[in-house]
Structure 1
Amino acid sequence: MVNEIPLGPNAAIVTVEMVVKPGAYLWRPSPAISLMSDALNRTIAWPIDRLRLPDPPIMDESNRKSSESGSPSTGSSGKGGKQKCVLLDIENSGARVAVGRVFSTDPTENVHFVPLGPNATKVWVEISKFDDARVWRANSEVECIADAVGSTLAWPNDKIIFM
């Protein structure tokens, strides 16, 4: 729920930190919030395919634990991911632990036989930045980000940066 409205599939929870066009209407207005100027410093729902953020800063080699060997791609599975994203550490360190692609935000979608649920996104993990970082919902085969490269994961929406 965002502003007492269900989030729904293919939408993300976004915090508005800066308003460029104060008079622009929101995608999903509520009685209290209908314009971008009303949404400043508040959370709103926004369509994933309309999110564009600047590229993340490139980490220097001393801070990088990368498993960029090989060329994992969404094409190898026959499934094409959509919006590119960065996964943030679930321990709240703010570290960028992986790069991937959004597959779905549909709460009924299964990830490793478990429904995605609310406030989560199904992502395809392409590149590990920190191999030992814990995953959000570990299972017998996937416990850390390195295990998830080339497969899908459930990841909390508040720990995803869309690119």
Structure 2
Amino acid sequence: VLDLSTSALPADLYRRVSEAARPAPVIAVTGPTDPAIGRALGEHRVDRPFGPRVLVGAVAEALRSGASAGDQGLLRAGALALDPGSRTAVIGDRRVTLTVTEFDLLEFLMGSPGRVYTREQLLDAAWGPGAGAGSRTVDVHVAQLRAKLGEGNPIRTVRGVGYVLDA
């Protein structure tokens, strides 16, 4: 959220911050502005005065539109590439078909390569907190994921702890 209501050159400041923050969306808070300047401030704009719900709504919309536009970027680990925007996975030159849960599990692991996660952390990430699934469910899904990814799969078991994705 960028407050431009007191800026002498709001369009220039917005452009510089937007470029630096990419791929994160920037929500411009403005005061009374010239319509030409308003158009230069992008699609995510809140005019003063506003209430907290208006700002929260603008942030939620900016995040939704950013996610749908595929701005999240590719996640990579060795020969494996994951595109959260289109929910596709490719290993080498082969496209891999994943279930929703397998994709969510792999996306979570690829978000922090090299970090070891317990089965409970992976359950919360892929199935949601309080899911009725047991920790062996993670083992089954990781085994299925490894089988689909083949020999180049970067998922490693850390005995007695959980799983890690090697970058």
TM-score, length-scaled by structure 2: 0.28
Larger radius of gyration: 2
Q: Which structure dedicates a bigger proportion of its chain to strand?
A: 1
TM-score, length-scaled by structure 1: 0.28
